[in-house]
Amino acid sequence: MAMTDVLRPGYLQVRVLDLEEAIVHYRDRIGLDLVEVAPDGRAYLKAYDEFDRHSIVLRQADESGLDVVAFKVSSEAALDALAGRLRNAGITTTTIPEGEQPGVGRRIRFRVPTGHQVELYATIALSDQGPMINNPDLWRTEPRGMRAIRFDHCLLHGQDIDGTAKIFTDILGFATSEVAVTPDGQPIAIFLSCGMKAHDIALVRHHEDGKLHHVSFLLESWSDIGHAADLIAQHNMSLDIGPTRHGATRGQTIYFFDPSGNRNEVFSGGYQFYPDNPTRTWTADQAGKAIFYYEKKLHETFLSVVT
């Protein structure tokens, strides 16, 4: 349920080193549907329970990482209003015309203080293979791989997370669901929600700007996390950590890497959030428990490896 004009995370475009290898990973291992490899060279994919045409875009490049994360808004009028609010706050916006991505309408692009590109859009074509709506079965075809339900959120690293969070809360209408803070109260991690999820985007302070920590996909249950772990082992995928559980957000999780080194997460669970809820706070001395509730400690690759 959306609480603002921003409905939800819409799509994310990541850079990969080998497009065909990446397609195998996201299609056959995570379980997304390949919509098309377009004439522009990008691959467009979606999860089986998503109505929109695509949610993940893969672009082959010389360096892995994030190109842009985009959020779907409620209407073209809302898009205009949000663009005006961004400009009134002194933020430069660029209009990306309809059709630059197949099936996607006009987009508003801007850069946040952490160096990441963010887009807003109101219009996207519905998928021919979206969830059934008349006497619907659970799915059109049985899910495969890790059986990802949807692209859920991403975690971004950069220096000025306070400034970036301020844009999301003050201009886009997000609420802060959870934070981790230093002894003097400075945020080191901020979790932001535009609806009733524990978070739709998260920010962590890091010495480099514009970095992607992970892209996350929702699974149905804790047993599906175990199934994902089995697939990671069977296919010799690069495991970061898990299966385990977060203290922050309460999600059950496993982290691993795509063939280009971009970190993926699949998770289930997590609490429901309302914007009038108090913000949950973790202190720095409990950061290990906040991130990995069972192990109660962080490990080196989770802290240092970003793309």
163-181 confidence digits (pLDDT tens): 999 999 999 999 999 999 9
> Of 25, 206, 213, 246, which is the active-site residue?
246
pLDDT of res. 3: 62
- Environment class of residue 39 by beta-carbon count within 10 Å: exposed (0-12), middle (13-18) or buried (19+)? exposed
250-260 pLDDT, tens per residue?
Answer: 999 999 999 99
Percent of the chain with pLDDT over 90: 92
Q: What average pLDDT score do residues 78-92 get?
A: 97
246 is catalytic: yes
Domains of the chain plus CATH, in order, are: 6-121 (3.10.180.10), 153-304 (3.10.180.10)
> Of 199, 206, 213, 227, which is the active-site residue?
199
Q: What average pLDDT score do residues 284-307 get?
A: 90
> Of 206, 213, 214, 227, which is the active-site residue?
214
214 is catalytic: yes
Q: Which long-range contacts (CB under 8 A, 24 or more apart) does 266-269 make?
A: 266/30, 266/146, 266/148, 266/216, 266/217, 266/218, 266/219, 266/224, 266/225, 266/228, 267/152, 267/216, 267/217, 267/218, 267/219, 267/225, 268/218, 268/219, 268/220, 268/221, 268/222, 268/224, 268/225, 269/222
206 is catalytic: no
pLDDT of res. 185: 87
pLDDT of res. 275: 87
Model-level pTM?
Answer: 0.96
pLDDT of res. 1: 46
207 is catalytic: no
> Of 54, 153, 206, 213, which is the active-site residue?
153
